[in-house]
A = this chain, B = another copy of it.
Amino acid sequence: MIQFLEDKPRDECGIFGIYGPGLDVASLTYYGLYALQHRGQESAGIAVSDGQTIQLQKNMGLVAEVFNEDSLAKLRGHIAIGHVRYSTSGASSLINAQPLSFHYLRGMVALAHNGNLTNADELRYSLGATGSVFQSTSDTEVIVNLIARYGQNTIEEALMKCMIDIKGAYSVVVMAENKLIGMRDPLGIRPLCLGKLGESYVIASESCALDTVGALFEREVEPGEIVIIDEQGVHSIKTMTAAHKALCIFELVYLARPDSVINGEAVTIARREMGRQLAKECQVEADVVIPVPDSGTAAAVGYAEASGIPFKEGLMKNRYIGRTFIQPSQRMRDIAIRLKLNPIRQVLNGQKVALVDDSIVRGTTSKKLVQMLREAGVKEVHMLISSPPILYSCFYGIDTSARSELIAAQNELEEIRKYIGADSLHYLSLDGLFAAVKGTAKDFCTACFNGSYPVEVPEQIDLTGFERRKC
């Protein structure tokens, strides 16, 4: 069995927390993680506190695989946090699964993290030099050790000190024995939001998780904010305010669920607007607009609306393709792509097609798609990408692959077009992308598109180690 290769950047993690006396917080966390499953399919975990002790269950697999009714029933308490993590390989992966739960001077704490610390190596070294132990390769364990080093402080004070030490992207939920805390980095690189469920509170990576458990969206946790929820209600500490924000714009392009509200708008609306902007920038001559399902659909609808070219479903996605299947042998290699996406010849035959996708990483899947469309009788394929070319690697919690593997970082537009075999290829401009979303250039991190890194990144990146450390 092997993973199904997707040629998309991968979100690293999703986090969820609930402070809910009287509620079945473990089950609500289970459903919340189910709604965040698109942010990570490698491992899932839930930690629950009953005010005295913290119980933790985590394992490799999807949320539905890791938990069953028995295991959920054992997680009793009134506060819970949960985590889903994306799929990497390697025998030691379980050791990196989250939440992390630990004992320190002040008792038990559990913690779950989405993001990536850019100075994790230095912190590990300096902590190690004074006696710290690391049982995983995760940068989250750095935060854990910092909390322990500030054991003389309250947990809130310890987190405030942590925020001074750590650099990079981090949205974190922390559960001490009697409180739930949410923390977001000063630039707000990864999303995090707050919701209300009756008298209880919920913190989640995306608002779709609030919707699922029936919580009402209150607001996004602000960059640099620490939100504390306990029996007194919600408190907020505004720590470090940056001159600007730097929300990962790729959350809007591809990563977040279309029904989530991020940066004040529904993601699907932003994506349809990206399609509309693309039509303004580039009107191709085509008979039909075809999305690459599912991620290209909203932009394709927008492109069709704005261009007047009819929208049709021309690629059928197999809904039963799971995380793994038996890899076809070399001889049957074309089966892999057809197993997942099947072109509908009777829709496509003889047509000039505007094929809409959200992004291209290495270009391998796009190449196969175009070839498959031609075999289905398509006369012309105009590839339309609803975001700019990915030119730089991400160091803030997204797996964009190494720069050397990014087709757009290594090739000119015309070379890419030739490689994927399209008749034409168009990317949305960065200005067009800004026009499609709420806010301006200084509200977003667009490092993957223009190399403008809002937080300094290490010069010498050991990508192998780096990848193992992420999330």
Contact = CB atoms under 8 A, between A and B. Distances in A.
Contacts of A38: 319-320
Interface string A188-213: 00000000000000000000100111
Contacts of A259: 316, 342-344
Interface stretch (A94-102, A387-395, A426-434, A454-462): A94-102
Interface string A386-417: 00000000000000000000000000000000
A52 interface: no
A253 interface: no
Interface stretch (A25-33, A352-360, A445-453): A25-33
Given A38-B320, A316-B268, A103 B67 contact: no
B134 A102 contact: yes
A305 interface: yes
A329 interface: yes
Contacts of A63: 320
Contacts of A269: 344, 346-347
Nearest to A135: B102
A157 interface: no
B71 A91 contact: yes
A243 B280 CA distance: 57
A328 B322 CA distance: 24
Given A35-B318, A298-B313, A316-B268, A57 B91 contact: yes
Nearest to A146: B131
A55 B91 contact: yes
A37 B325 CA distance: 13
Nearest to A322: B64
A318 B211 contact: no
B148 A128 contact: yes
Interface in A1-35: 1, 24, 27-28, 30-31, 34-35
A91 B66 CA distance: 13
A258 B318 contact: no
Contact of A135 (B1, B101, B311, B332): B101
Most buried by B among A135, A311, A329: A135
Interface stretch (A167-175, A219-227, A230-238, A333-341): A333-341
The 3 closest A-B CB pairs, nearest first, are: A259-B316, A266-B346, A37-B320
Interface of A: 1, 24, 27-28, 30-31, 34-35, 37-38, 41, 55-57, 62-64, 67-69, 71-72, 74-75, 91-92, 95, 100-105, 124, 128-135, 137, 144-145, 147-149, 151, 208, 211-214, 257-259, 261, 265-266, 268-269, 272, 294, 297-298, 301, 305, 310-313, 316, 318-322, 324-326, 328-329, 331-332, 334-335, 338-339, 342-347
25 contacts: A24-B332, A27-B332, A31-B332, A34-B321, A35-B339, A55-B91, A56-B91, A64-B320, A64-B322, A69-B326, A72-B326, A75-B91, A100-B135, A102-B135, A128-B148, A130-B131, A131-B131, A212-B339, A212-B342, A213-B335, A261-B346, A266-B344, A266-B346, A268-B347, A319-B319
